[in-house]
Amino acid sequence: MDQHAETIQKALTGSLNIIEQDREKEIISRRFGLNGQKETLEQIGEVLSITRERVRQLEKAIIIRLRVMAEENQIPELGAAEKIIIRFLVEEGRIARISTLAQKIYGHNPNEKELAAINFISEISARLVHIDESERYYNATGIAEYGNEREIKRKADEIVTLIRNNKLPMSLDELDAKLNYEHPNHIRAIASISKSLSSLDDQWGLAKWPTVNPKNIRDKIYVILKNQNEPMHFSDIADAISNSKFRRKNVTTQAIHNELIKDPRFVLIGRGIYALDIWGYKRGTVAQIITDILKEAGEPLTREEIVKRVLKTRKVKETTILLNLQNKKLFRRVDRNTYTYADELGQ
């Protein structure tokens, strides 16, 4: 056990030893999962043969007593643990999810007991502010002198509103320009506790936006292409996803290719090369592209101009374009090196 883990464990043991009645110790241990598994009020009530409501009342009373004792420095071991937690919170921006904080403190992905220990100390410490997990917020803790629970939640909601009104993801610098939160790192910390927000590549957006929280293969492909800002081969897209910060990024090249074919947002513009339709690329064969170009022009175009315009939307050989122009069912030469589409001639 390293020094940080040992200090946290001593604080946990010292806090529990303050509780005189064994039944009350058991309630706290089971409720917070200090032995590895959190239990519901009903489960604890069944074990101790008391009602669910009685368990809730006892839990609340015990926590209040422990908070008073902590504030009056009656739990000697707690101070050292608070210093460690606060030091890491300062690095994180004064507030952090319990899971993130525990990972920093323990130096590895924390188990349930380690998460419970940090959560419990956060709950009883007068120097820390605790935020329970809910539909809108992650389980988190912050430094009390910089704001209480209500103030932290208000700031998180303010960031959500700002991003929602912007209708596009925002960088920390963009958020910092709109908010008065002292430092971008604090904005990031506050935003990270909101379940309404998500980030990707330093861009913050609503959690439901696939550009910052891509949940399926198609969304991940879209984000990769959008960030690359140029067409890519499907194998390069697969490599980019594997090297990304996405969750669940182990996907096969074949799966990537299948999604590229099915989704209309992706346009095949060359051999295995795909682009986004929002860049002006259109689906279709080279012949269809030539026809669309001639229709949009509203007049015959020279062979050179047709080639130039097709190459803006397709990565194909010039000879492929010229061969398509020889299709007399679709195109007609109206002058030397000048072409139009067959319908225009009434055929």
Distance CA 56, CA 59 (A): 5
Tokens matching residue 137: 């917020």
Distance CA 229, CA 3 (A): 48
pLDDT tens profile 268-302: 888 889 999 888 777 788 888 888 888 888 888 88
pLDDT of residue 1: 59
CATH architecture of 217-279: Orthogonal Bundle (1.10)
Distance CA 9, CA 81 (A): 9
CATH class of 286-345: mainly alpha
Residues lower than pLDDT 50 in the chain: 345-347
pLDDT of residue 345: 46
Residue labelled with tokens 């937690």: 85
pLDDT of residue 247: 75
pLDDT of residue 344: 52
Distance CA 310, CA 320 (A): 11
CB 106 within 8 A of CB 4: yes
pLDDT of residue 346: 46
Print the SS3 string covering the chain. Answer: CCHHHHHHHHHHHHHHHHCCCHHHHHHHHHHHCCCCCCCCHHHHHHHHCCCHHHHHHHHHHHHHHHHHHHHCCCCCCHHHHHHHHHHHHHHHCCEEEHHHHHHHHHCCCCCHHHHHHHHHHHHHCCCEEEECCCCCECCEEEEHHHCCHHHHHHHHHHHHHHHHHHCCCEEHHHHHHHCCCCCHHHHHHHHHCECCEEEECCEEEECCCCCCCCCCHHHHHHHHHHHHCCCEEHHHHHHHHHCCCCCCCCCCHHHHHHHHHHCCCEEEEECCEEEEHHHCCCCCCHHHHHHHHHHHHCCCEEHHHHHHHHHCCCCCCHHHHHHHHCCCCCEEEEECCEEEEHHHHCC
CB 220 within 8 A of CB 246: yes
